[in-house]
Amino acid sequence: MESQTTQLCDQSAMALAGMLRRGEISAREITQSVFKRIDEREKSINAFVTTTRETAFKQADLADAKFRQGGDIPLLTGIPVAVKDILCTKGIKTTCGSKILADFVPTYNATACRNILDAGAVLVGKTNMDEFGMGSTTESSIAGPTRNPHDLERVAGGSSGGSAAAVSSGESILALGTDTGGSIRQPSAFCGVTGIKPTYGRVSRYGLVAYASSLDQIGAIGKTVADCAMMLNVISGHDPLDTTSANVKTPDFLKALKEGIEGIRMGIPQDFFAEGLDSRIKEKVFEAVALLEKNGASVVPINLPHSPYAIGAYYLIATAEASSNLARFDGVKYGFRNAGDITDCMEMYLKTRTKGFGMEVKRRIMLGTYVLSAGYYDAYYLKAQKARKLIKGDFDEAFKKVDCIMTPVTPCLPFALGEKMTDPLQMYLVDIYTVSLNLAGLPGMSLPCGKINDLPVGLQIVGKPFDEEMILRVGAAYERLAAAGR
């Protein structure tokens, strides 16, 4: 059984769910396989901040007991899931990759975490991330950088780099991530897995440690489109604990995967295929689009004329919200406090925040405080909000003509560790194709569409608000066609 067990961690969640239901394997065997892979590869990849081995095996045994009893058992039961370390987990450390929360243990679960645990998932640990989600490489964490499983000298992407690397390497079957400007889609592309950012409001943000509240969204990372749909079924839904949670009906996302693509209109934004995009990535994305077109979908050229303003608008709005959200970490209520020689409250704030926050977080707090300050609010923050409205308007117009939009996820392949750490602007430009979706609140998914020099390339599918079914449908069709070599 050991030879089979060692390979269970490389299976998709849907495949494992089927095997569990047929009695071919146990949840304990899957969990053993995952932790064996963690033991083998975690030292080199560094996908986790915390692993929860003891808890995981207890949850796996409970899942096996449910299967023995029979009855209606959720698909997620017995499937190992990793959770990004920005989501509160009751009794388990939640650090946000920051020294200021290095010893913080929440007293409650985030709604998304509670939902997966209620569905019988096996929690294998908390994944590494850029500090407070502020980064594109998972290099700014107190736990050290996460490495790309495809090439250990390259970044895994960020800020959900630990979640993407864990799924890619078989250190978890599924993972929860968060996406503020591409933080699920970009690492998914870099690590060769599938990741979905739902519509803003589709998944409750209760228990998510906020970075930029109007942009943050929790989503799923899996090996396949079906895996993401399975997770989305569990984590979606209205939550009265989150005032931004949308009170809309949650469909069965798995049903959408069975529908064809005949007659679907795919928008190709000319603005996303201009200067700065690696020509090899462009070729892979167009090959994927051509495959779908050959099998019944149609291509419609579209324009998103305000896209060039997306990066600027995003980094003004996100930093402004971060400045406000991170004010709570002052050393008074919880988290790290500088216990050095201090004479008054202001000095304690200053020393705590200086020592507790990393360079990138400090940079964004200062930028955000500046753009919100008197005399600059209108010139920067207000103007960024106006640009945001124009960017959303572009998408609204485009979706009058198309059903989904196809773009690259990143302009470049995974780059070397440390390559962009000294140049924040170059780092920010890595998110050029992803941030506009967060500004507009739209759903988007990254899925693998080939490799270049053994490095993964991601295809991004963008949908209308609350039309995750469309992007899952198109993504599943592409997976089937690519696998069949059509």
Domains of the chain: 2-256 (3.90.1300.10)
Whether residue 98 has pLDDT greater than 60 = yes
Whether residue 267 has pLDDT greater than 90 = yes
Average pLDDT of the chain, as a whole number: 95
Whether residue 272 has pLDDT greater than 90 = yes
84 is catalytic: yes
Q: One of 98, 141, 183, 323 is an active-site residue; which one?
A: 183
Instruction: Report the candidate in 304, 325, 347 with the shortest Cα–Cα distance to residue 439.
Output: 304
pTM higher than 0.75: yes
Q: What per-residue string of b and e applies to 111-148 under the rule 16 or more CB within 10 Å gives b?
A: bbbbbbbebbbbbbbbbbbbbbbbbbbbbbbbbebbbb
- Average pLDDT estimate for 323-332: 93
> What integer pLDDT is reported at residue 486 of this predicted model?
66
Whether residue 4 has pLDDT greater than 70 = no
* Cβ partners under 8 Å of residue 159, min gap 6: 97, 129, 130, 133, 134, 135, 136, 138, 178, 180, 183, 187
Whether residue 374 has pLDDT greater than 80 = yes
Whether residue 1 has pLDDT greater than 80 = no
Confidence of residue 426 (pLDDT cuts 50, 70, 90): confident
Whether residue 3 has pLDDT greater than 50 = no
12 is catalytic: no
Q: One of 140, 159, 204, 436 is an active-site residue; which one?
A: 159
Of 122-126, 215-219, 416-420, the least confident: 416-420
188 is catalytic: no
> What integer pLDDT is reported at residue 292 of this predicted model?
98
- Average pLDDT estimate for 149-161: 98
Q: Which amino acid is at 438?
A: N
> What integer pLDDT is reported at residue 152 of this predicted model?
98
**Residues 43, 83 contacting (CB under 8 angstroms):** no
- Average pLDDT estimate for 96-122: 97
Whether residue 6 has pLDDT greater than 70 = no
- pLDDT tens, position by position, 252-266: 999 999 999 999 999
- Structural tokens at position 483: 């696998």
Instruction: Report the candidate in 157, 167, 163 with the shortest Cα–Cα distance to residue 178.
Output: 163
Q: One of 12, 26, 33, 84 is an active-site residue; which one?
A: 84
Whether residue 78 has pLDDT greater than 50 = yes
Cα 140 off chain centre by? 17
